[in-house]
Structure 1
Amino acid sequence: MTELEELYEFFYLTPVGLAKVSFDGVVEQINPFMVNILMSIDNEYSVHNNFFKSISKYDVNLKELSEKLIENKNERDINNYIMTINDKSIKKLRLKCGKITGDRFIMVLENITEFVTASEEKDAIELELDNQKERLAKIGQVIRMVVHDLRNPLSNIKTISDMVELASVEEARELLQENINVILDEINGIIGDMLDYTRAEIPKLVPVSIAVINYHLSMKFDLMMKESGVTIEYYSVDDFDLLCEESKIVRVFNNIVGNAIKALVSHKISNPVIKVTIEKSNENALITIKDNGDGIPDELIGKLFEPFAFKSGYVGNGIGLPIVKSIIDMHNGSISVTSGKDGTEFKIMIPLAVS
């Protein structure tokens, strides 16, 4: 085989797109692979027969690159350029350029779809594995937390059981009635927190009248005051709708107010008061929850919404406020907190339903 025949075979049979083009992009020689590629990205290629028109028509970024090549006869800017296209058979192309003479170039288009796809799939798998590892680590933390926190109510059940054995039937009935339901509620709360943290369910956002939320919160706050002795002052307008999932928004109030009650009681605050207000603020509902406690230390404020960062009267089992933050985020809202010697204040913004 002569050198010319070898060159011919290489040009026309090599499994990449090759084309010899003039400085203005006119195709002078082209192999079948390049024809297929150009026709797949530009069905007018056979009309104008211009390489730069085809690739520039598809990818606007290539217009500037090809202009540089035409003006400066400098192929460096266009070498190894990766094109992303939406053809069924071709997804990624690598574009290369080589100068033959002063005004002639060899353009190379190589289909690298399989290589890129394999790399992307590998990256996606590695990312998913990393996410799974992180999630499993967090679930492990939750399980350890649950096991630790369940010890206390289970211990209380054992204590009540011992007391029942020594008590009369009537005394035993009273012990069970007064304590078992409270302990079961505590256990359900711990398990509920674990489930909420490990499964991030997207809320079903629908218009909910603030009057409905006011009704549920009023009953809940009355019960909290009777059980704790803490005063809850609640004020809300009732002439608008929230775009929310009602149960999750009520859960936000329960968590923040419940944490504040625990802190006020455990810190033995004199005349403990929690003020809760809901009002309109432009296109949002502004929710303010403020207590008259002795505040949260500055070094802990920044960690308040981090899971398991710390546990105190304000953060319960370590995931309550992170769950609150997650709920607010999924409602396209925001939450902030300020704290000082005169108490702690949470401010929450939730979008109103569009009427």
Structure 2
Amino acid sequence: MQDLQFLESPERGVLLMDVNYVIRCANPRAAEIFNTKLDQLIGFTLPDWIKTRPQNPKDTIEEVLYPDYKVGMVLHRYSGPVYGASGEITGRIELYSDITARRRLETEILERNRQLAELNKRLQKAQEELLRSERLRTLGEMAAGIAHDINNALGIVLGNVQLAKRLLKDNPGVSKCIDSIELAARDAAETVRKLKEIGKPVDRSHYRPLDLSKLAESVATAAIPTWQESGKQIELITEFEPDCTVNGDEAELREALTNILFNAVQAIKEHGTIKVATKCNGNEVLLTVADNGIGMNDEIKKRVFDPFFTTRGSAGTGLGMSMVAAIAMRHEGKVAIESEEGKGTVVVLRLPKAE
């Protein structure tokens, strides 16, 4: 055992203890790791900062230690029994390895992995936004190509409807049918208009500074009669910060907020709460609409910005949130949705703050 003190192990400190856990032998590396001298180890028990001691002579201990004498140092400790030739326990052996550099490398690798995961998440989100933008652009080009012809046809239908209404005004049964034709034609014309809006090219020359808080307050106030007529009991909560100014088209931003707000109303069955808020966040202005309605599952959330996707059947066109996304992009902003089925939905419109 005495020869152990001359072992030049570059990695491990080695201690041999008797059955009373008194150190009887140690190598120079152990003295280095414990920041002391060999003669201050031999004949003594383990220092107090090593808390874990064997409860039974046969116990094996393996742990990571953080010595109090050197900030940032990390040690790996192995402690186990030593057996004699006849199988009896004659003492313990303690092995200590300085794993500070390895732990630092592991921490760096974990941090790099976290950064890569975050970067991959951002890249995936950017790809999704790019695909969404491309779908909207393609849809807009298609709409622009056919809108003229469709509007011409609808113009002929509506013109003849007006003529028929005058000629058959004394025939209530026929007039009712004609009214239905007129309503369907006007709905079709509105759908074409929305399609053209989605793919409208970006022209910011007419943009002007707008107080988003005042605009949001105006839209929210105007929407109250709509849900009152539906019989729903909805509490409207507003939190508007001052000086939330953006550059934009007032009519477009009003339409975007109206679509978001009406979706929130439709998500509430009988009674609930809708919160509309604005907040200045650095170089951004955040417009948030939150409801405690039925919420959305993950599948619906993935498709909510897809043109013509709707959960309302024939009652919806599926263009509302597509228009919101298109308006946000034209204003160099983004729209995001957080939703949980049965708990509600939060829609956040992020727009650049006006300088």
TM-score range, shorter chain: 0.3 to 0.5
TM-score, with length taken from structure 1: 0.45
Larger of the two Rg values belongs to structure: 2
Higher helix share: 1
